[in-house]
């Protein structure tokens, strides 16, 4: 951008500038009109060019070409609009005044304004404006464009550019509005601007194309407004003329008729000119740019054509223009599709335009309906809203199939889509209400107008066959039909009152659905937030919403406090209805019971709940009763004492009954009949359900339940349901006791008691893991996992150190039993599960339910691994099932691996390699020692290793230590067992190296050498020479470690490459390995600790014995890395045999840094190679300079060729959105890809990963810590 002075805060434009054409009656007065059009470029001597003005001369005293009244500094028009501190009206008025004084200078300001708004730093001078065509000006500006940055004012982020687009658009609109009576008809200003914008919109530069398209579209919109005003004025003038002409001859004013005829003629001429301008913009800009490669440009075009059709429907609302919107609804970008829908919404909203949209609707209706399922949620929402407007305008366009495709979206998890679909559903099904007679009393309850609508809601809910999603349906209809859904009086009347004569009563299924919907509406009104799974969470409510919430809670409490007891009494035997009805008191305003004098209804409610508890044994009903008591027993309200007494009486009776029945049941032993067992089970179910929400510690239920469980272990014939509920009840006893102890007010004796009870209960659960019954084992396993999690070492965190005596860590035997349970009850085939029921549909449902149960069991155990409750190595048995049970448990196992890696990367890697070792041993035991490596079992293990490798991600720095430890353990395992066939044969587990090679790609290059060195410590000299098939795993593994590692190690040692001999550095490079190594380390800027550790590694490498004969030294110390891969200097310069012996790696001579020019010793082979390489590098530098110059010339020619050939569309045809024009940058990239420019090497900045790399911990590969010949069983050097 061109710098400009900051606009002073006190600066203001003169506000008294007025146009003389302020009314429709001034058209005859045109002092600056078309009669005085000067010729372009004539009579403009001594004027400053725009480029000179932009630099701020002091003598002119002008702003944008005109005088400033306050004498402030010159400021460019672009800067004024960008800062946006002045009223746009005054800015435009000043420019108009400047245009009247010298229109060439003012127009030059306007041209530079558009150029600078595109982000171009170039300035159009007066000479260019007079002597050059627009295409030449644009080409010149393109050459001066800043190619380093892709940002321009319309795309730059930041506060100062935030309002630039709106100011830019406002300026264009105000400019046309202020010039609409004279200047736009002078055949000069508008022609120049339209020609410039059309040329810029065809530019290959995105900034020019984007900015000019926006300007042209806004200019077109402003012209549409002018045309609309002209059309209105013409109609008024025509009516005045007809009225005057219809008068009697004596009263007719001929002068007025002539004046009106003249005015109408001028208006018609102006209208024709405006239409010509609009046609030029439409055909020159819109027709090409609505198919532009950039989605933002396409969106601008569609947005503006929607404005034109809405503003001036007589001219634009026809199929010739609507087709562009219809075609673009198939655009690949959601942003463009969204603009199409919003443009159409503005048209369908006006019912008067519906007749003109009939053909378009029939042609593109199917596309609009399909867009309700768009992958972009915003587009889907607007598509549904558009269909709602179509439905509002005419009810016959959409077929029942079209409507049904929208209906099911009320169950969408995305709330805006669901609400839009709910509005559509409400307008379609519920908009027809029965008219009420005036003066008649308002009908309530079953006779209210909402009764049929509520029934329709129930019918729709049942027909949708998504019965468990009533909360979603209510939430979708809440905004559009909230008043209907909150008519609880009508709902209760439909449930309690008898049907009217001739009215059909609700069926049992419909009553169940109505009760569920009623509960969901009560919850929605009380909580004021969407159901689970829809919405991001609770939001802050406004004062109006809070007042509505309080009013609704008061109204629902007053109604249901009276009607709930009769409803419970009516449906006292229906468990499903009772479960929903019993949840209603949880949303009451309990204060209403006292303030509304509703205590008798509270007593009735408590009686009904007590009867339900005594009558039902269903777990869901009993838990609903327990939660209702918990909600009513709130100490903040005065009803607490009354409810607490009722609850205590009920629990006293239940516990006494249970103890009495249990004593008799245990005494009878094997003689106990089923009736006694049922009585014990039903009472235990009720106590367990209440113990979940209420503290029953005062009744000492642990002793009785533990006795019951112990008896079941000893006798082995205890009914499974009694054992399951006894385990659950004992679990609740432990948790309530822990809650009391955690408060800190308990005694030490209580903590000791809890510790004993908890450990005894864990032992009891462990014993039940071996029970015959599967359900009992699953219950014992689940509870045991929960107890171990709760009483793990993490319970002392958060300032709860006093709970440390309660921490319990499972013993190895318990860990092994838990793991054994998982392996035998989770990792089983689907057909092995015997819990499925009869019938194909029931069988599928049973399999799904069983799978969910097994997933919960596995997740419970994986939590123990993640939180370090059990040893992480036990996860190996879980991880090895990753591939086999990927569809069922893949997500759980993968998340477990991710969490364990976050806890301890190294231990996780050891666990992964352990799982592969276990699978390898299982394969050996099944297939034997001489197995085929192409077998399915071995390939499966290798594929699992590949999957494990992928889980380490791309950041090798973070996983460096873990991968190293994984290779270390794998190498040790491969050489651990000697061959059973005797010496000279491969070790028993050598094939494991083939599996381990899957992890070689995760090693950093400098680590591959270290791992390879560690591998060679296990190898004998004979192993390195073997080439038989049985040794292929060792060969392939060594190759995987050497791939890509040699080049890197040599570069670390030498540090000398073609990048080091850049054109920018003229210094002579050292030739010795030591000096070049130090030069490399300083050039790469490695940390000191990495450099030191690397040198130690290489020193060890030089001194370590080599298992295989080393190749002849090829002296890559000074070699260009690119040539080192292709050329072998051994072929051109063979070494003598004696020099080959001296060139072994373990006896490398120590070179000292010295240049070839100052070498004192006789020139040996290395010195010759160094001198030859130096000569070759100088030649390469010269060639690179020549290539750079040739490339610069070729690039310039290519740019000119690209600018000459635009290749834009010229025809008005239905678009293929994929066939869009490329930007200049993209075309340059494509051209460059087709040509092999051999450019010179450039020193790139060091990578972040290289700076962060740290050498492997020395103890991982320290011979003193890990090498033990007695363990390895191989001979060592």
CA-based nearest residue to 316, from 268, 357, 351, 350: 357
Alpha helices in 14-146 (DSSP H): 50-54, 77-83, 88-101, 103-117, 126-131, 134-143
CB 521 within 8 A of CB 485: yes
241: pLDDT strictly greater than 50: yes
Write down the residue that tokens 């809650």 correspond to.
Answer: 739
134: pLDDT strictly greater than 90: no
pLDDT at 1266 (0 to 100)? 31
Q: Measure Cα distances from 479 to 158, 388, 534, 556, 1157 in Å.
A: 37, 15, 15, 19, 89
Give the count of beta carbons closer than 10 Å to the beta carbon of residue 379.
Answer: 23
pLDDT at 1103 (0 to 100)? 34
pLDDT at 1175 (0 to 100)? 64
Per-position b or e across 1052-1068, b if 16+ CB within 10 A of its CB: bbbbbbbebbeeeeeee
Bridge partners of 67, per DSSP, are 62
Q: Which two tokens stand for residue 980?
A: 């059973």
Confidence of residue 1047 (pLDDT cuts 50, 70, 90): very low
CB 368 within 8 A of CB 387: yes
pLDDT at 538 (0 to 100)? 67
How far apart CA 433 and CA 421 sit, in angstroms, is 20
pLDDT at 841 (0 to 100)? 55
For 200-214, 637-651, 1064-1078, 1242-1256, which range has the lowest pLDDT when averaged over its residues? 1242-1256
Tell me the residue length of the chain.
Answer: 1277
Give the count of beta carbons closer than 10 Å to the beta carbon of residue 1250.
Answer: 14
| Rounded average pLDDT over 258-268 | 90
Q: Which two tokens stand for residue 901?
A: 């890696």
Q: Which two tokens stand for residue 708?
A: 């019951």
How far apart CA 565 and CA 608 sit, in angstroms, is 7
How far apart CA 1030 and CA 986 sit, in angstroms, is 7
Confidence of residue 442 (pLDDT cuts 50, 70, 90): low
Compute, in degrees rounded to 10, the torsion defined by CA atoms 79, 85, 87, 93: -30
CA-based nearest residue to 123, from 133, 135, 111: 111
Q: How do residues 844-877 score in pLDDT, each as one tens digit?
A: 888 899 999 999 999 999 999 999 999 999 999 9
Backbone angles phi, psi at 465, to 5 degrees: 60, 35
CB 1070 within 8 A of CB 1155: yes
Long-range (24+ apart) CB contacts under 8 A made by 1146-1152 are 1146/1102, 1146/1103, 1146/1104, 1146/1105, 1146/1106, 1148/1073, 1148/1102, 1150/1074, 1151/1071, 1151/1072, 1151/1073, 1151/1074, 1151/1075, 1152/1072, 1152/1074, 1152/1075
Residue 1242 sits at the vertex; the CA angle it makes with 1238 and 1246, to the nearest 5 degrees, is 140
CA-based nearest residue to 868, from 784, 810, 803: 810
Element (H, E) at 620: helix 619-632
What is the longest distance spanned by two Cα atoms in the chain?
A: 137
Report the sign of the C-alpha dihedral through residues 346, 347, 353, 355, in that order.
negative
Report the sign of the C-alpha dihedral through residues 707, 713, 716, 718, in that order.
positive
Q: Calculate helix-pair angle for 1045-1054, 1005-1017, nearest 10 degrees.
A: 110
pLDDT at 1023 (0 to 100)? 80
What average pLDDT does the chain have?
A: 77
Give the count of beta carbons closer than 10 Å to the beta carbon of residue 432.
Answer: 10
Q: How do residues 94-120 score in pLDDT, each as one tens digit?
A: 899 999 999 899 999 999 999 989 988
pLDDT at 1172 (0 to 100)? 60
378: pLDDT strictly greater than 80: yes
Among 67-81, 283-297, 1199-1213, the range with the most confident prediction by mean pLDDT is: 283-297
pLDDT at 479 (0 to 100)? 92
Q: Which residue has the higher pLDDT, 626 or 541?
A: 626
Q: How do residues 534-550 score in pLDDT, each as one tens digit?
A: 876 667 888 998 999 99
Q: Which residue has the higher pLDDT, 487 or 31?
A: 487
How far apart CA 540 and CA 529 sit, in angstroms, is 10
| Rounded average pLDDT over 547-558 | 94
Q: How do residues 558-578 score in pLDDT, each as one tens digit?
A: 999 999 999 999 999 999 999
989: pLDDT strictly greater than 50: yes
Q: Measure Cα distances from 449 to 433, 442, 505, 805, 1039 in Å.
A: 7, 9, 17, 67, 83
Element (H, E) at 67: strand 66-67
Q: Which two tokens stand for residue 1025?
A: 């020479």
The HSE-up count of residue 1086 (CA atoms within 13 Å, CB side) is: 20
pLDDT at 756 (0 to 100)? 94
Write down the residue that tokens 């060091």 correspond to.
Answer: 1246
Q: How do residues 171-200 score in pLDDT, each as one tens digit?
A: 999 999 999 888 999 889 999 999 999 999
Confidence of residue 248 (pLDDT cuts 50, 70, 90): confident
Q: Which two tokens stand for residue 245?
A: 């002409």
First to last CA, the chain: 72
Percent of the chain with pLDDT over 90: 48
Question: Which 8-state DSSP code applies to residue 499?
Answer: P
Q: Could you write out the DSSP letters of every residue in 899-965? A: HHHHH-HHHHHHHHHHHHHHHHHHHHHHH-TT--TTSHHHHHHHHHHHHHHHTT-S-TTTTHHHHHH
Q: How do residues 1048-1098 score in pLDDT, each as one tens digit?
A: 433 333 333 333 333 333 333 344 433 333 333 333 333 334 333 333 333
Q: How do residues 582-594 score in pLDDT, each as one tens digit?
A: 999 999 999 999 9
| Rounded average pLDDT over 354-359 | 89
843: pLDDT strictly greater than 90: no
CB 356 within 8 A of CB 313: yes
Q: How do residues 497-509 score in pLDDT, each as one tens digit?
A: 888 777 888 999 9
810: pLDDT strictly greater than 70: yes
Q: Which residue has the higher pLDDT, 1247 or 717?
A: 717
CB 154 within 8 A of CB 164: yes
CA-based nearest residue to 1053, from 1078, 1029, 1028: 1078
pLDDT at 1225 (0 to 100)? 40
Per-position b or e across 475-510, b if 16+ CB within 10 A of its CB: bbbbebbeebbbbbbbbbbbbeeeeeeeeeebeeeb
pLDDT at 213 (0 to 100)? 96
CA-based nearest residue to 257, from 240, 236, 271: 240
Q: Flag whether the pTM goes above 0.85.
A: no
| Rounded average pLDDT over 272-281 | 94
pLDDT at 1248 (0 to 100)? 35
pLDDT at 151 (0 to 100)? 83
Return the CA Rg of the chain.
43
CA-based nearest residue to 1198, from 1229, 1219, 1240: 1229
Confidence of residue 1271 (pLDDT cuts 50, 70, 90): very low
How far apart CA 201 and CA 211 sit, in angstroms, is 8
Residue 334 sits at the vertex; the CA angle it makes with 417 and 118, to the nearest 5 degrees, is 135
How far apart CA 472 and CA 779 sit, in angstroms, is 33
The HSE-up count of residue 1247 (CA atoms within 13 Å, CB side) is: 5
Per-position b or e across 527-552, b if 16+ CB within 10 A of its CB: ebebbeebeeeeeeeeeeeeebeeeb
For 138-152, 343-357, 376-390, 962-976, which range has the lowest pLDDT when averaged over its residues? 138-152
CB 1261 within 8 A of CB 1014: yes
Write down the residue that tokens 């006893």 correspond to.
Answer: 733
pLDDT at 249 (0 to 100)? 77
pLDDT at 651 (0 to 100)? 93
Q: How do residues 780-803 score in pLDDT, each as one tens digit?
A: 999 999 999 999 998 888 888 888
722: pLDDT strictly greater than 80: yes
Q: How do residues 897-906 score in pLDDT, each as one tens digit?
A: 999 999 999 9
Bridge partners of 66, per DSSP, are 63
């Amino acid at each position: 951008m061109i710098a400009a002075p900051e606009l002073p805060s006190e600066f203001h434009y003169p506000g008294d500038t007025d146009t003389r054409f302020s009314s429709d009656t001034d058209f005859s007065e045109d002092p600056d009109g078309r009669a005085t059009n000067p010729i372009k470029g004539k009579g403009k001597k001594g004027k400053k060019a725009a480029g000179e003005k932009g630099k701020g001369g002091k003598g002119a005293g002008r702003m944008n070409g005109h005088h400033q009244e306050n004498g402030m500094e010159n400021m460019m028009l672009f800067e004024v609009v960008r800062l946006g501190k002045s009223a746009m009206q005054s800015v435009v008025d000043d420019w108009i005044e400047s245009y009247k004084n010298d229109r060439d200078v003012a127009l030059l300001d306007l041209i530079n304004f558009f150029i600078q708004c595109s982000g171009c730093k170039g300035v159009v001078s007066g000479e260019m404006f007079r002597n050059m065509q627009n295409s030449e000006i644009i080409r010149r500006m393109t050459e001066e464009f800043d190619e380093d940055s892709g940002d321009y004012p319309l795309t730059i982020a930041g506060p100062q550019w935030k309002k630039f687009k709106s100011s830019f658009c406002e300026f264009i609109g105000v400019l046309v509005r202020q010039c609409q009576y004279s200047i736009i008809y002078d055949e000069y200003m508008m022609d120049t601007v339209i020609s410039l914008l059309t040329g810029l919109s065809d530019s290959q530069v995105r900034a020019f194309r984007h900015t000019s398209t926006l300007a042209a579209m806004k200019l077109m919109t402003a012209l549409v407004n002018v045309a609309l005003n002209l059309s209105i004025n013409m109609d008024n003038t025509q009516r005045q003329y007809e009225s005057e002409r219809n008068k009697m001859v004596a009263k007719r004013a001929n002068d007025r008729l002539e004046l009106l005829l003249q005015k109408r003629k001028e208006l018609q001429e102006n209208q024709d000119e405006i239409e010509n301008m609009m046609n030029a913009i439409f055909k020159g800009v819109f027709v090409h740019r609505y198919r532009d490669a950039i989605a933002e440009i396409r969106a601008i075009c569609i947005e503006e054509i929607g404005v034109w059709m809405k503003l001036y429907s007589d001219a634009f609302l026809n199929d010739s223009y609507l087709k562009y919107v219809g075609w673009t609804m198939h655009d690949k970008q959601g942003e463009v599709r969204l603009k199409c829908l919003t443009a159409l919404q503005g048209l369908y909203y006006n019912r008067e335009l519906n007749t003109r949209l009939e053909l378009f609707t029939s042609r593109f209706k199917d596309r609009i309906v399909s867009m309700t399922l768009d992958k972009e949620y915003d587009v889907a929402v607007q598509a549904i809203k558009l269909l709602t407007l179509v439905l509002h305008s005419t009810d016959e366009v959409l077929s029942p199939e079209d409507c049904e495709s929208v209906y099911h979206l009320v169950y969408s998890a995305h709330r805006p889509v669901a609400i839009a679909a709910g509005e559509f559903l409400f307008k379609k099904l519920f908009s027809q209400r029965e008219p009420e007679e005036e003066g008649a009393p308002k009908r309530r309850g079953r006779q209210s107008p909402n009764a049929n609508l509520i029934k329709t809601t129930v019918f729709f809910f049942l027909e949708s066959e998504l019965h468990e999603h009533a909360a979603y349906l209510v939430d979708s209809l809440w905004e559009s039909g909230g008043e209907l859904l909150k008519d609880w009086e009508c709902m209760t009347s439909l449930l309690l009152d008898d049907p009217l004569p001739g009215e059909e009563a609700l069926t049992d299924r419909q009553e169940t659905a109505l009760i569920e919907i009623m509960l969901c509406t009560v919850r929605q009104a009380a909580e004021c937030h969407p159901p689970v799974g829809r919405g991001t969470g609770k939001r802050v409510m406004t004062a109006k919403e809070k007042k509505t919430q309080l009013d609704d809670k008061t109204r629902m409490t007053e109604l249901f406090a009276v009607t709930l007891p009769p409803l419970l009494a009516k449906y006292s035997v229906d468990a499903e209805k009772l479960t929903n009805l019993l949840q209603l008191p949880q949303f009451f305003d309990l204060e209403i019971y006292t303030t509304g004098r509703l205590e008798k209804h509270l007593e009735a409610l408590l009686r009904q709940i007590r009867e339900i508890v005594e009558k039902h044994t269903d777990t869901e009903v009993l838990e609903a009763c327990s939660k209702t008591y918990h909600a009513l027993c709130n100490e903040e309200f005065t009803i607490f004492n009354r409810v607490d007494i009722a609850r205590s009486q009920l629990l006293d009776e239940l516990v006494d009954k249970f103890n009495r029945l249990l004593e008799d049941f245990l005494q009878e032993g094997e003689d106990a009949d089923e009736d006694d067992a049922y009585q014990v089970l039903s009472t235990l179910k009720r106590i367990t359900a209440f113990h979940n929400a209420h503290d029953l510690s005062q009744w000492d239920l642990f002793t009785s339940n533990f006795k019951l469980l112990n008896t079941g272990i000893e006798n082995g014939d205890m009914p499974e349901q009694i054992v399951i509920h006894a385990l659950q009840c004992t679990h609740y006893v432990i948790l309530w006791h822990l809650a009391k102890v955690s408060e800190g007010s308990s005694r030490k004796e209580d903590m000791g008691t809890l510790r004993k009870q908890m450990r005894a209960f864990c032992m009891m659960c462990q014993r039940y893991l071996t029970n015959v019954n599967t359900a009992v084992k699953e219950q014992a396993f689940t509870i045991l996992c929960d107890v171990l999690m709760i009483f793990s070492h993490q319970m002392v965190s958060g300032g709860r150190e006093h709970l440390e005596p309660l921490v319990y860590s499972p013993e190895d035997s318990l860990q092994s039993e838990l793991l054994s349970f998982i392996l035998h009850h989770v990792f089983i085939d689907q057909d092995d599960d015997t819990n499925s029921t009869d019938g194909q549909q029931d069988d599928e449902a049973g399999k799904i339910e069983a799978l969910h149960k097994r997933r919960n069991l596995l997740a419970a155990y994986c939590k123990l691994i993640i939180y370090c409750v059990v040893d992480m190595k036990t996860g190996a048995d879980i991880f090895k099932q990753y591939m086999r049970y990927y569809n069922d448990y893949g997500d759980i196992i993968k998340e477990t691996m991710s969490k364990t890696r976050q806890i301890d990367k190294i231990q996780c890697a050891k666990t992964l390699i352990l799982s592969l070792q276990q699978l390898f041993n299982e394969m050996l035991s099944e297939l034997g020692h001489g197995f085929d490596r192409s077998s399915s079992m071995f390939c499966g293990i290798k594929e699992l290793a590949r999957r494990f490798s992928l889980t380490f991600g791309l950041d090798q720095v973070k996983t460096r230590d873990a991968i190293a430890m994984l290779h270390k353990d794998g190498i040790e395992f491969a050489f651990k067992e000697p061959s059973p066939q005797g010496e000279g044969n491969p070790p028993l587990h050598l094939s494991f190296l083939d599996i381990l090679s899957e992890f070689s790609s995760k090693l950093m290059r400098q680590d591959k050498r270290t791992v390879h060195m560690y591998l060679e410590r296990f190898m004998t000299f004979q192993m390195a020479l073997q080439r038989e098939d049985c040794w292929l795993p060792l060969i392939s593994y060594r190759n995987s470690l050497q791939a890509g590692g040699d080049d890197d190690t040599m570069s670390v040692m030498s540090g000398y490459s073609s990048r080091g001999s850049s054109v920018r550095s003229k210094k002579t490079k050292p030739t010795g390995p030591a000096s070049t190594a130090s030069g490399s380390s300083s050039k790469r800027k490695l940390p000191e600790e990495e450099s030191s550790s690397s040198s130690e590694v290489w020193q060890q490498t030089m001194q370590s014995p080599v298992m295989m004969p080393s190749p002849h030294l090829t002296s890559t110390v000074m070699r260009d890395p690119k040539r080192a891969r292709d050329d072998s200097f051994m072929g051109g310069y063979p070494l003598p045999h004696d020099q080959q012996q001296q060139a072994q790696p373990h006896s490398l001579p120590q070179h000292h840094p010295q240049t070839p020019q100052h070498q004192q010793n006789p020139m040996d082979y290395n010195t010759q190679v160094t001198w030859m390489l130096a000569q070759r590098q100088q030649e390469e530098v010269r060639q690179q300079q020549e290539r750079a110059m040739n490339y610069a010339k070729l690039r310039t020619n290519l740019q000119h060729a690209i600018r000459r050939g635009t290749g834009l569309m010229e025809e008005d045809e239905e678009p293929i959105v994929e066939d869009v024009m490329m930007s200049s940058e993209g075309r340059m990239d494509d051209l460059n890809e087709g040509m092999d420019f051999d450019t010179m090497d450039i020193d790139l900045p060091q990578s972040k990963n290289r700076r962060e790399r740290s050498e492997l911990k020395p103890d991982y590969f320290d011979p003193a810590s890990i090498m033990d010949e007695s363990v390895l069983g191989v001979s060592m050097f």
